[in-house]
C-alpha cells in the first residue's frame, strides 16, 4: 500500500475549492488517512521546496505558500501516487488535460492548486514535515 502527500495551496483555500479537490479524490476511492488546515511556517515551506532553492521562481513560490492557510493531507491506496498525479494533471495548468484538477482550476505554474509528492521517497519525506505519526489514522474505507 502506498502513501501520498498532498498540499492544497493558499489560493485553493481562498477560492473555496477545498471540497472540489477532496471530492475528486474521494470519487476515485482514494482514502484520506490524515488531514488538517494550517498556516505553513517559513521553515516548513523551505523544507518542502528544498530541491527548488536557487531557481528563478523559488522566492515567489515560498511567498505564495506563506500567503494564507493551506490544507495538507496524506492519502493511502494501491498506486496512489500515480493515481493522484493523474487526477491533478501536469504541473503547468496550460499543459494539464482539461478534465484534471490543474487543467480545470489552475491559474499559473505557481498557482496550480495543489502540490503532490512525485515519488514514494519524496512522499515519505514531505509528509514528515507536516504530520506526526499519531495524526495518521487507521480505519476501513467502504467503497
115 binds ligand CMP (CB under 6 A): yes
The Cα–Cα gap between 65 and 126 comes to 15
Q: Which is nearer to ligand CMP, 67 or 110 (CB)?
A: 110
Q: Check whether 3 is labelled as a binding-site residue.
A: no
Where do we find the cell 498532498? 6
Q: Looking at residues 70 to 109 of the shown chain, list those that interact with ligand CMP (rule: CB under 6 A).
A: 91, 109
Sign of the Cα pseudo-torsion (131, 43, 7, 70, in order):
positive
As a whole number of angstroms, the distance between CA 80 and CA 65 comes to 24
**115 counts as catalytic:** yes
Beta bridge partners of 36: 72
User: Which residues, 3 to 22, sit near ligand CMP by CB under 6 A?
Assistant: none
Using the CB atoms, write b or e for 46-55: b if 16+ within 10 Å. bebbeeeeee
**Cβ 95 to ligand CMP shortest distance, Å:** 11
Does residue 67 belong to the site contacting ligand CMP (CB under 6 A)? no
The site that binds ligand CMP (CB under 6 A) totals a number of residues, namely: 8
36, 57, 82, 136: which one binds ligand CMP (CB under 6 A)? 57
Contact residues: ligand CMP, CB under 6 A: 52, 57, 61, 91, 109-110, 112, 115
Amino acid at each position: 500500500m502506498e502513501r501520498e502527500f498532498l498540499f492544497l495551496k493558499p489560493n485553493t483555500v481562498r477560492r473555496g475549492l477545498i471540497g472540489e479537490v477532496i471530492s475528486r479524490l474521494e470519487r476515485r476511492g482514494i482514502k484520506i488517512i490524515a488531514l488538517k488546515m494550517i498556516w505553513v511556517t517559513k521553515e516548513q515551506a523551505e523544507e518542502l521546496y528544498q530541491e527548488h532553492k536557487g531557481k528563478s521562481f523559488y522566492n515567489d513560490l515560498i511567498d505564495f505558500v506563506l500567503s494564507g492557510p493551506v490544507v495538507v493531507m496524506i492519502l493511502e491506496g494501491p498506486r496512489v501516487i500515480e493515481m493522484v498525479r493523474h487526477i491533478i494533471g501536469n504541473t503547468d495548468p496550460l499543459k494539464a488535460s482539461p478534465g484534471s484538477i490543474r487543467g480545470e482550476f489552475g491559474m499559473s505554474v505557481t498557482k496550480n492548486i495543489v502540490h503532490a509528492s512525485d515519488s514514494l521517497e519524496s512522499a515519505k519525506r514531505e509528509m514528515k514535515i507536516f504530520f506526526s505519526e499519531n495524526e495518521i489514522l487507521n480505519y476501513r474505507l467502504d467503497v
